């Protein structure tokens, strides 16, 4: 029997369909596994869809997946100290970290409804323009396309970054290199943001450039910028 070109094409197309079906099923399986694990191990604190109901527990919904992945590693190896997250993060395998990161980044963040509106103007000013020695937050955070200086496809760091690991000078000669993916802040709980800024400033959460940046903001300004981002998305 002669096998004509049409038969060959049909076989190839069928093979391609089988391969994509298998890939699709594998992807769906991973997504379902991520959802189940998140429900079992994280939802009690971070909410079923990553919008934690507790002001001191961060929302994970819509967060940059590389950032989530990296923070889970940091909790596990102690680079970011947390009595609550350390025991949760330590037993996770690398592929589980990826499952959680993908699951939560695919959800939609819901901004707080009642951020203290009084400080909006000051908070917005700091975020957009900076203040004194503190650079504008939007140089790195919540820029369109996932941030100029980090995250996937970022210009200056993270995956495929043009300038990862280098330093540039901010106002007042502040060293502002970013070492990793930049988290989204819009819609995050104000209390959580303000608390993290205090910890950066005290050096309790050690991170550059955030240590220097938080330290030059006054406590009131940290609260104002936290209230501003919490009410946005
Ligand atoms: C008992 C409550 C609790 C559980 C359970 C929990 N978390 Fe957390 N999580 C927290 C708290 C509180 C923080 C803030 C930690 C800090 O900075 O001190 C946090 C922080 C995080 C952060 C950092 C977010 C950011 O914006 O920097 C990630 C990522 C995270 N948790 C992922 C998870 C995942 C994934 C699970 C499930 C495997 C989980 N958490 C389970 C309470 C919890
Ligand atoms: C030069 C880039 C850059 C600038 C400018 C910058 N940040 Fe950041 N920020 C980062 C990076 C990178 C991280 C992640 C740090 C880490 O991995 O520990 C971060 C983390 C944070 C976090 C922790 C978020 C979370 O989910 O835990 C907060 C809060 C924050 N920044 C607030 C600000 C504010 C407010 C400003 C402006 C006053 C600002 N940042 C300016 C790069 C920057």
pLDDT, tens digit (0-9, with 9 covering 90-100), for 33-47 = 889 999 999 999 999
Assess whether 78 and 126 both reside in one domain.
Answer: no
Torsion sign across C-alpha atoms 17, 23, 104, 212: negative
Assess whether 99 and 138 both reside in one domain.
Answer: no
For the chain, the first-to-last Cα distance in angstroms comes to 65
Phi/psi for 131 (5° steps) reads: -155, 120
In a domain, 215, yes or no: yes
- Ligand 2: centre distance to CA 205 (Å): 11
- pLDDT tens, position by position, 97-133: 999 999 999 999 998 876 556 678 999 999 999 999 9
Name the burial class of residue 163, with classes exposed (0-12), middle (13-18) and buried (19+) by CB atoms within 10 angstroms of its CB: middle
Q: Both tokens of residue 154?
A: 């970022």
Assess whether 96 and 162 both reside in one domain.
Answer: no
Q: For residue 75, give the ligand nearest its CA.
A: 1
pLDDT at 19: 87
Q: Nearest C-alpha to atom 41 of ligand 1 is from which residue? A: 42
- pLDDT tens, position by position, 171-218: 444 545 456 899 999 999 999 999 999 999 999 998 889 999 999 999
Q: Nearest C-alpha to atom 33 of ligand 2 is from which residue? A: 137
- pLDDT tens, position by position, 139-183: 999 986 444 444 333 344 333 333 333 334 444 445 454 568 999
In a domain, 14, yes or no: no
Contact 65, 204 (CB under 8 A): no
Domain range enclosing 224: 117-230
In a domain, 126, yes or no: yes
pLDDT at 118: 66
Nearest to 187 by CA among 228, 151, 148: 228
DSSP H helical ranges for 53-189: 65-77, 85-89, 94-105, 120-129
Assess whether 133 and 170 both reside in one domain.
Answer: yes
């Amino acid at each position: 029997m002669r096998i004509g070109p049409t038969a060959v094409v049909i076989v190839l197309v069928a093979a391609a369909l089988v391969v994509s079906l298998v890939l699709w099923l594998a992807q769906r399986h991973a997504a379902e596994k991520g959802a189940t694990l998140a429900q079992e191990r994280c939802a009690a604190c971070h909410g079923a869809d990553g919008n934690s109901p507790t002001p001191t527990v961060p929302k994970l919904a819509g967060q940059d997946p590389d950032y989530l992945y990296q923070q889970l590693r940091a909790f596990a190896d102690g680079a970011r100290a947390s009595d609550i997250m350390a025991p949760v993060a330590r037993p996770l395998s690398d592929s589980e970290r990826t499952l959680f990161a993908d699951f939560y980044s695919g959800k939609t963040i819901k901004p707080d409804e009642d951020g203290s509106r009084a400080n909006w103007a000051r908070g917005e000013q700091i975020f957009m323009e900076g203040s004194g020695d503190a650079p504008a937050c939007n140089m790195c955070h919540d820029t369109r396309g996932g941030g100029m200086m980090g995250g996937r496809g970022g210009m200056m760091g993270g995956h495929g970054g043009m300038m990862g690991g280098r330093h540039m000078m901010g106002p007042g000669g502040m060293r502002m290199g970013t070492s990793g993916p930049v988290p989204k802040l819009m819609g995050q709980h104000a209390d959580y943001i303000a608390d993290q800024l205090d910890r950066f400033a005290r050096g309790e959460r050690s991170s550059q450039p955030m240590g220097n940046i938080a330290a030059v903001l006054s406590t009131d300004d940290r609260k104002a910028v936290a209230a501003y981002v919490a009410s946005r998305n």
